[in-house]
């Protein structure tokens, strides 16, 4: 699109294009949307980016994102500090929160072990997890993703924790609720069979 | 997600969620992406928004977006100023540019007549179009969208221009290249038949 190049607009399109799942066309659409915003709104948007960057950091305990010292979960006295759910990203923790079922705390690793991407155990918040373990912790739930990397991470951490006498569990694999056996992949189905429960 | 609410993050998510085609989940993904950017990049992004807003305005002649007095097309001496292609949005002009076929100029209406959305002829850049017409203009191509609104706008403008003795044309309707007759809708197919050319 070199024929028609308005530099400040192109720069904005480029910024959007870098984002995950945003191609050139969508980036254009978003940039035009921003251009058509009222000036005050554009200012708010611009400031929200800077503000988020300046105010948000990791929770001292669980490494989740927060703008305070502790994250809302670690701050909450009603949450069971004896159970720690280990997740890869803050969004995974949010997904767990959305179930409204889990009353324990989290630990966010900020990634998973992935030799291909040059991510080793030391790049994750595993030291921080070990540091917060005490005799009050009764269970660590490995809720990393059901992928090769997530599984490897869960396995790695469980091997660290088990010798310390801590109960380590893993989220159940199986067919998703509302899913269709016909369309379930073989591995998932095999895992569902393996993990079958008595009725 | 009231259980887990980090205010600066939520504000950023809200900003993204307002954008067209962006739902809550995508907004979250984008906000986390922004959070994970290096600080300098976040600053660039934030500044790109403000910069685009401050520097970009309408071209004095064609109402397309530009950061100068005239847009790159109107500035370009090689473009045929005698042909004006009327489009609804700057992105439509960009799409035309991408064909690399059109050597005339543009006129951007910034919308289409739509009584349902309370957009009348006076809300569009029609006065600006009339104002730039001179005897040097040999043809005005109506390239508004092939929708009810786009058609109505094309019709409205052509009725204004024809009495002035200006040739007004409309982009051809027909089956898209690479399309399949079987899947073409009836109206499109009827228009393609109507507009058939001799081989």
How close is the nearest chain A Cα to the Cα of B180, in Å? 24
> In this predicted structure, what is the pLDDT of residue A4?
58
- Which residues 110-139 of chain A have a CB within 8 Å of chain B? none
Global pTM reads 0.74
pLDDT in tens, A82-98: 999 999 999 899 888 88
pLDDT in tens, A128-181: 999 999 888 999 999 999 889 999 999 999 999 989 889 999 988 888 888 787
User: Which of A7, A10, A14, A15 is most worth mutating to test chain B (most B CB atoms within 10 A of its CB)?
Assistant: A15
Please determine, for the modelled complex, whether the ipTM score is greater than 0.85: no
Do A48 and B98 count as a contact with CB atoms less than 8 A apart?
A: no
CATH homologous superfamily of B7-55: RecR Domain 1 (1.10.8.420)
- Which residues 30-49 of chain B have a CB within 8 Å of chain A? 30-35, 37, 39, 42-49
| Residue B38 C-alpha from the chain's centroid | 33
How close is the nearest chain B Cα to the Cα of A165, in Å? 31
pLDDT tops 50 at residue A45: yes
- Helix (H, G, I), strand (E, B), or coil: what is residue A56? coil
| Residues in Cβ contact with A40 at an 8 Å cutoff, skipping those fewer than 6 apart | none
> In this predicted structure, what is the pLDDT of residue B134?
84
Q: Does B7 touch chain A (CB under 8 A)?
A: yes
Tell me how far apart the alpha carbons of residues B98 and A33 are, in angstroms, rounded to a whole number: 21
Do A6 and B71 count as a contact with CB atoms less than 8 A apart?
A: yes
> In this predicted structure, what is the pLDDT of residue B4?
58
Which residues on A lie below 8 Å from B43 (Cβ)?
Answer: 50
Which residues on A lie below 8 Å from B37 (Cβ)?
Answer: 53
- Indicate the DSSP class of residue A115: G
Do B8 and A55 count as a contact with CB atoms less than 8 A apart?
A: yes
- Which residues 89-108 of chain A have a CB within 8 Å of chain B? 89-91, 93-94, 97-98, 100
pLDDT in tens, B85-141: 999 999 899 888 888 889 999 999 999 999 999 999 999 999 999 999 988 899 999
pLDDT tops 60 at residue A2: no
pLDDT in tens, chain B (199 residues): 444 578 888 899 999 999 999 999 899 999 999 998 999 999 999 999 999 989 999 999 999 999 989 999 999 999 999 999 999 999 899 888 888 889 999 999 999 999 999 999 999 999 999 999 988 899 999 999 988 999 999 999 999 999 988 999 998 888 888 878 788 888 888 888 888 877 7
How close is the nearest chain A Cα to the Cα of B100, in Å? 9
Do A53 and B35 count as a contact with CB atoms less than 8 A apart?
A: yes
Residue of A31, A33, A98 lying closest to B1 (CB–CB): A98
Strand partners, B105: B84
Which residues on A lie below 8 Å from B7 (Cβ)?
Answer: 67
Strands (E), chain A: 57-58, 65-66, 80-87, 104-108, 139-142, 167-170
pLDDT tops 60 at residue A3: no
B90 to chain A: closest CA residue: A32
The DSSP result for B114-149, as a single string, is BGGGTB-GGGTTHHHHHHH--TT--EEEE---SSHH
Do A53 and B32 count as a contact with CB atoms less than 8 A apart?
A: no
How close is the nearest chain A Cα to the Cα of B103, in Å? 11
Q: What is the dihedral of CA A190, A191, A192, A195, to 10 degrees?
A: 130
User: Which of B10, B15, B69 is most worth mutating to test chain A (most A CB atoms within 10 A of its CB)?
Assistant: B15
B69 to chain A: closest CA residue: A6
Task: For CATH 1.10.8.420, list the domain ranges present in chain A.
Answer: 7-55
Q: How far is CA B153 from CA B5, B10, B62, in A?
A: 47, 41, 17
Task: For CATH 3.40.1360.10, list the domain ranges present in chain B.
Answer: 59-170
> In this predicted structure, what is the pLDDT of residue B41?
92
Do B53 and A31 count as a contact with CB atoms less than 8 A apart?
A: no
CATH architecture of A59-170: 3-Layer(aba) Sandwich (3.40)
pLDDT tops 70 at residue A122: yes
pLDDT tops 80 at residue A55: yes
């Amino acid at each position: 699109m070199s024929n028609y190049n308005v530099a400040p607009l192109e720069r904005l399109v480029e910024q959007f294009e870098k984002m995950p799942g945003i191609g050139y066309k969508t980036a254009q659409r978003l940039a035009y949307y921003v251009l058509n915003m009222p000036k005050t709104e554009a200012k708010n948007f611009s400031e929200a980016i800077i503000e988020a960057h300046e105010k948000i950091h990791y929770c001292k305990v669980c490494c989740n994102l927060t703008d305070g010292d502790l994250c809302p979960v670690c701050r909450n006295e009603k949450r069971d500090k004896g159970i720690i759910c280990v997740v890869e990203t803050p969004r995974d923790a949010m997904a767990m929160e959305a179930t409204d079922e889990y009353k324990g705390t989290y630990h966010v690793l900020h990634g998973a072990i992935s030799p291909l991407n040059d991510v080793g155990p030391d790049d994750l918040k595993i030291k921080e997890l070990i540091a917060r373990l005490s005799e009050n912790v009764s269970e660590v739930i490995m809720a990393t993703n059901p992928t090769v990397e997530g599984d490897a991470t869960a396995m790695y951490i469980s091997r660290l924790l088990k010798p310390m006498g801590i109960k380590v569990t893993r989220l159940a694999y199986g067919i998703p609720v509302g899913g269709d056996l016909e369309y379930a992949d073989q591995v998932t189905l095999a895992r569902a069979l393996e993990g079958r429960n008595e009725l």
